[in-house]
Chains A and B, each alone.
Chain A
Amino acid sequence: MSRLVEIRDLWIEGRSDETWSPIINGVSLSLDQGEVLGLIGESGAGKSTLGLAAMGFTRDGVRISKGAVEFDGIDLISASAAKKRELLGKRIAYVAQSAAASFNPAHKLIDQHTEGPVQHGVMSRAESVEDAIELYRRLRLPNPEEIGFRYPHQVSGGQLQRAMTAMAMSCRPDLIIFDEPTTALDVTTQIEVLASIRDIVDQFNTAAIYITHDLAVVAQMADKIKVLLKGDEVEEADTRTMLSQPKEDYTKSLWAVRAFERPQKPAVHTSATPVVSVQNVSAAYGKIPVLHDVSFDIHEGRTVAVVGESGSGKSTTARCITGLLPPTQGVIQFDGQSLPASYKQRNKDQLRQAQMIYQMADTALNPRKTIGEIIGRPVQFYMGLTGKQKRRRVEELLEEIELPAAEYLNRLPSELSGGQKQRIGIARALAAEPKFIICDEVTSALDQLVAEGILKLLARLQDDLKLSYMFITHDLATVKAIADEVVVMKEGEVVEQGPKREMFIPPHHPYTDLLLSSVPEMDPDWLTNLLDERGVDNIGDAAVDKMS
């Protein structure tokens, strides 16, 4: 019997300007009915390209130059567009990274769900609607009878991701490509989606290619794992072997990332004046209150991690500290002095002392300015340096962030990698010679290896320059790595705060508990055990209960 998917020596190229550069270099893979393959690698490794190629699909500006892709004995490379359309959606389905962007905003979920079965002639619309409701129920969506009749914008991200999985299941395909389906979700939501996907793939004995950059996630989902690096296959093995005995150095380095952890610093003197003190701050967007009585201190040379799900008020707190959003109540103190509420009333020195590094280095750097100009601007504005002095200072800063000045000074942001851009963001913040830096999800958009580099850099800078950090993140692994103290936020309130050591030892606030236990671990049995612990049938409810 032939295998369900057979990719042999596949070469794929992408066009940039006028030349074709390689994306995938001679990768092979095979998959049997009901088998789940985890495809892992950093961004740019070619995971999505390979996943789409398994569907016989290439994006614009991408072409398959060599090799074979067979699905159930059908050669997808030579197949006509019409022949491929017959398979797509019906026998091979796709679940995209961002369900919010991949559902058509103009149509109700149910119309998008039934489109496949009806157009492919698998079911009538009425049958498909009924089936959709059943799938929604199995995927533990709330109000399965009713939720499909909403528009995408009326449904939350985690629910959309499950609705998309349901849509992929609508024709009962033999193969589903999951392309980073939980990357954009909060940890607590991620668990529900992971559990739903795993259950439904099991129930229908569907084969799947599960693409992710998160090892812990893939460990829960896959039977076997393939590691990709820049379009080359590094190694492939079944999940347990891969986790316990990775052969290649690159794989080992991926596995080791999570081991980075700074030792807990000794407690600060109670009499010491904190660098930043947030005191009983409340804030609102228009009339809608978003922060309620938030208080915490940040001491010299310390990192306070502010954690919580999206919408918990982490970034709003940062906006209050920087004066972008004047609080409705409470004060922000800097070195024991109260700061004016709005940045407009703060003087240059007060502005200089608090700097920010942003999540999306892509959009935080002016694409038309060279690196030298981007870093030179705050050097001139805050420090008053010009000409040669300014240039020397910019070079120093580039050295500080471990990028050779001669090579990078005249480049534009578009000529840098994601990690390098984030380093430029750090250098720009350092240029003002601040005492305090707010890091807003600075590593969330980066691959784990690159993120680790950034975290290590920040840690070294902290030791060298006695910097204080407020580290906003939803990733508890990052907290473990870099924080001294942790503030847990939920719905605009601080639910718990204390030294990192205490945060990771029970007992803690039930919400902290939920957050902590939701972080995937490398143990392939982690999800199963967790679901047993929480009670499989009501995992979604359990999460909701604990949150309310």
Chain B
Amino acid sequence: MQSVIRIILQRLALGLLTLFVVSIVIFTAVNMLPGDFAEAILGQGATPEAVASIRRDLGLDQPPITRYFQWLGGALQGDLGNSFAQANFASFAGADTGVSTTVAQQIAPRFENTMFLAAVTAFIAVPVSLTLGILAALFRNSVFDRATNVTTLTSISSPEFFLAYVLILFLAVLNPVLPSLSNIFDGMSFGERLEKTLLPALTLTLVVTAHMMRMTRAAIINLLASPYIEMARLKGMSPMRVIVKHALPNALAPIINVIALNLAYLITGVVVVEVVFVYPGIGQLFVDSVKIRDIPVVQACCLIFAAAYILLNLLADILSILSNPRLRHPK
């Protein structure tokens, strides 16, 4: 058990290091974008004085390295800075009201929505993929197996917006069982939220199922030639029991990794689906912020995405380790 804790701590340290490297990459990349917030907001007719003034206000006149460390220092203390777009430019106009929105305030509700959508999707997609994968392995090369493969492959190969519109057509237009707009807001009950989130969640389920289901199937089939599987068969165990009890526990590591990868995708890569359903998630916020060069928000979003990837993969590593009795119970 001690060795397991050591491995986990090592991975955690590596994760932090990765996050640090990612923060540099993000900062550099964002700084390489042509134009900046001052130019973007003031438009074509901006006078050089006005641009310089806003830059000074926002600290954009500082050298990049200074800005990076200011930002990093703030981020380490939980302060992601103030959003440019929501900042009050009264000072520039000569009448400072002292009110501005922090990045944290802006991102928090959006992030919550994104996590909600990801959770609902995972709640549907993971059990469905596992079940389909196990059944496909059990009835491998049967009609069921082929049909499952074709269906999931078709859904993963189709563009997300197309799947979204197909679902809207069938579940909102032809049979109006679900709302086609997912405009959720504060103060909604859980039930309402769930109802509004269901359609985007189903779309995303179609997107992520194929990968997880195929990995489950492959990981199990990969083990079916093992002597211990033959042994289970020779003990007269039923095919279902052989797969679920004898193959699956040994196939967990690769499956867990693929699930983690797909969950990370659900947090970071669902902009298209958010746009189609007008779902107020973090993806839309991110794209909007890039458009107007709202650098603090862009950086914070990138950092959150990176952290989500790293944390989920870390979690997958830990679970894989725990699924291996050799590591859980050393000699």
Question: Do A and B form a real pair?
Answer: yes
Q: Please name 26 pairs of A and B residues whose Cβ atoms are closer than 8 Å in the assembled complex, sorted by A.
A: A55-B234, A57-B233, A57-B234, A85-B236, A89-B235, A93-B234, A94-B234, A96-B231, A102-B230, A103-B228, A104-B228, A104-B232, A104-B249, A104-B250, A105-B326, A106-B249, A107-B245, A107-B249, A115-B237, A116-B235, A119-B235, A119-B236, A119-B241, A120-B236, A153-B326, A154-B329
Q: Does B48 contact A (CB under 8 A)?
A: no
Residues of A within 8 A of B (CB): 52, 55, 57, 59-60, 84-90, 93-94, 96, 98, 101-107, 115-116, 119-120, 150-151, 153-154
The interface on chain B, measured as residues whose beta carbon lies within 8 A of the other chain's beta carbons, has a size of 23
A89 and B234 in contact, given A101-B226, A102-B228, A106-B250 (Cβ under 8 angstroms): yes
Is there an interface contact between B236 and A104, defined as CB atoms closer than 8 Å?
A: no
Q: How distant is B245 from chain A, measured CB to nearest CB, in Å? A: 8
Q: Which residues of B contact A85 (CB under 8 A)?
A: 236-238
Q: How distant is B284 from chain A, measured CB to nearest CB, in Å? A: 44
Provide the bound-state CA to CA distance between A106 and B325, in Å: 6
Is there an interface contact between B331 and A104, defined as CB atoms closer than 8 Å?
A: no
Q: Does B217 contact A (CB under 8 A)?
A: no
Is there an interface contact between B236 and A116, defined as CB atoms closer than 8 Å?
A: yes
Residues of B within 8 A of A (CB): 225-228, 230-238, 241, 245-246, 249-250, 323, 325-326, 329, 331
Q: Which residues of B contact A55 (CB under 8 A)?
A: 234
Q: Which residues of A contact B226 (CB under 8 A)?
A: 101
Q: Which residues of A contact B231 (CB under 8 A)?
A: 94, 96, 102-104
Provide the bound-state CA to CA distance between A150 and B325, in Å: 10
Q: For B325, give its contact among A88, A101, A116, A151 (CB under 8 Å).
A: A151
Q: Which residues of A contact B326 (CB under 8 A)?
A: 105, 151, 153
Chain B, residue nearest A91 (CB): B236
Q: Which residues of B contact A89 (CB under 8 A)?
A: 234-237
A90 and B236 in contact, given A101-B227, A153-B325 (Cβ under 8 angstroms): yes
Provide the bound-state CA to CA distance between A214 and B305, in Å: 62
Q: Which residues of B contact A106 (CB under 8 A)?
A: 246, 249-250, 323, 325
Provide the bound-state CA to CA distance between A86 and B236, in Å: 6
Q: Which residues of A contact B325 (CB under 8 A)?
A: 105-106, 151, 153
Q: Which 5 A-B pairs have the closest CB atoms?
A: A88-B236, A89-B235, A106-B249, A89-B236, A101-B227
For A96, A98, A102, A106, which residue has the most chain B Cβ atoms within 10 angstroms?
A: A106
Provide the bound-state CA to CA distance between A87 and B235, in Å: 9
Is there an interface contact between B228 and A87, defined as CB atoms closer than 8 Å?
A: no
A154 and B228 in contact, given A107-B249, A115-B237 (Cβ under 8 angstroms): no
Q: How distant is B181 from chain A, measured CB to nearest CB, in Å? A: 47
Q: How distant is B320 from chain A, measured CB to nearest CB, in Å? A: 13
Is there an interface contact between A87 and B250, defined as CB atoms closer than 8 Å?
A: no
Is there an interface contact between A153 and B238, defined as CB atoms closer than 8 Å?
A: no
Q: For A104, give its contact among B225, B234, B246 (CB under 8 Å).
A: B246
Chain B, residue nearest A55 (CB): B234
Provide the bound-state CA to CA distance between A103 and B329, in Å: 16
Provide the bound-state CA to CA distance between A1 and B233, in Å: 30
Chain B, residue nearest A167 (CB): B235
Q: How distant is B253 from chain A, measured CB to nearest CB, in Å? A: 11
Is there an interface contact between B227 and A96, defined as CB atoms closer than 8 Å?
A: yes
Is there an interface contact between A105 and B236, defined as CB atoms closer than 8 Å?
A: no
Q: Which residues of A contact B237 (CB under 8 A)?
A: 85, 89, 115, 119
Is there an interface contact between A87 and B329, defined as CB atoms closer than 8 Å?
A: no
Provide the bound-state CA to CA distance between A115 and B250, in Å: 17
Provide the bound-state CA to CA distance between A140 and B240, in Å: 35
Q: How distant is A440 from chain B, measured CB to nearest CB, in Å? A: 25
Q: Which residues of B contact A154 (CB under 8 A)?
A: 329, 331
Provide the bound-state CA to CA distance between A295 and B219, in Å: 49
Q: Which residues of B contact A59 (CB under 8 A)?
A: 230
Q: Which residues of A contact B230 (CB under 8 A)?
A: 59, 96, 102
Q: Which residues of B contact A84 (CB under 8 A)?
A: 236
Q: How distant is B220 from chain A, measured CB to nearest CB, in Å? A: 13
Q: How distant is B51 from chain A, measured CB to nearest CB, in Å? A: 63
A105 and B228 in contact, given A151-B325, A154-B329, A154-B331 (Cβ under 8 angstroms): yes
